[in-house]
């Protein structure tokens, strides 16, 4: 079932973020949300995830099992990369599978170090693998490529394309090239 947003209204005090917003997000497809800074992109995915309430309108079709990459990585800093991912995996998922995914995304060394010792780009990739391997029917990603250099970004895009086939993915971005790389749908706010 597609996600259908009808007449969404959301405001903070006198600041109206959405006033009768409508959109359709296709099931099992990648949809990008773009718009100028402060227009409500993060608010929209927070509403879809159930983190924030809408003021009025309806949203239907959002799957119950969700995973996310937030603007900040939200990792357990004292845990290593494998342990951070293990937190969200099915108990039957073997460490070898987690390591394989980390390697696909360009993380080969230091997988047993605490992520507190990782660079920002390394932490970002751990957060992405964690979201991909989580038990979910939909994946929300808020500027997932932020802080990645050009080559790493290409690797991560290929990893996501390969590992999110058949899943509903919603990505907030400022970069139309990311939309083109995924051949994704676009919702402009």
- What is the rounded CA–CA span in Å between residue 148 and residue 141? 14
For 22-32, write each residue's pLDDT tens digit.
Answer: 999 999 999 99
- Give me the residue label for tokens 């996310």: 68
Q: Could you give the angle at which helices 150-163 and 95-104 cross, rounded to 10 degrees?
A: 130
pLDDT digits (tens, 9 = 90+) for 123-173: 999 999 999 999 999 999 999 999 899 999 999 999 999 999 999 999 999
- What pLDDT was estimated at residue 74? 94
Burial of 15 (0-12, 13-18, 19+ CB in 10 A): exposed
The domain 3-188: what is its CATH number? Answer: 3.40.50.300
Q: Please state the rounded mean pLDDT for residues 94-111.
A: 93
- pLDDT range class, residue 43, cuts 50, 70, 90: very high
Residue 84 CA to residue 36 CA, distance in Å, equals: 32
- Position 15 scores a pLDDT of 94
- pLDDT, residue 109, reads 82
DSSP 88-104: TS-TT--HHHHHHHHHH
- Give, in order, the Cα–Cα distances in Å from 162 to each of 42, 65, 108, 132, 148: 25, 20, 19, 11, 19
Domain ranges of the chain: 3-188
Per-residue pLDDT of 64-97, as tens digits, reads 999 999 999 999 999 999 999 999 998 899 999 9
Let me know: does 117 contact 80? Beta carbons within 8 Å: no
Q: Is the pLDDT of residue 110 over 90?
A: no
pLDDT (mean) for 56-65: 97
């Amino acid at each position: 079932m597609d996600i259908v947003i009808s007449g969404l209204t959301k405001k903070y005090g006198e600041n109206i973020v959405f006033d009768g917003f409508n959109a359709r997000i296709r099931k099992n497809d990648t949809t990008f949300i773009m718009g100028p800074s402060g227009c409500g992109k993060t608010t929209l995915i927070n509403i879809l995830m159930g983190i924030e309430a809408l003021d009025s309108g309806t949203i239907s079709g959002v799957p119950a099992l969700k995973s996310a990459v937030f603007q900040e990585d939200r990792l357990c800093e004292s845990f290593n990369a494998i342990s951070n991912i293990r937190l969200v995996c099915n108990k039957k998922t073997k460490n070898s599978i987690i390591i394989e995914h980390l390697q696909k995304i360009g993380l080969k060394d230091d997988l047993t170090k605490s992520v507190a010792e990782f660079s920002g780009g390394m932490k970002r990739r751990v957060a992405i693998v964690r979201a991909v391997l989580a038990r979910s029917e939909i994946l929300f990603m808020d500027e997932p490529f932020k802080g990645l250099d050009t080559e790493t970004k290409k690797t991560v895009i290929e990893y996501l394309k390969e590992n999110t086939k058949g899943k509903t993915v919603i990505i907030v971005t400022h970069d139309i090239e990311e939309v083109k790389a995924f051949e994704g749908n676009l919702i402009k706010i």
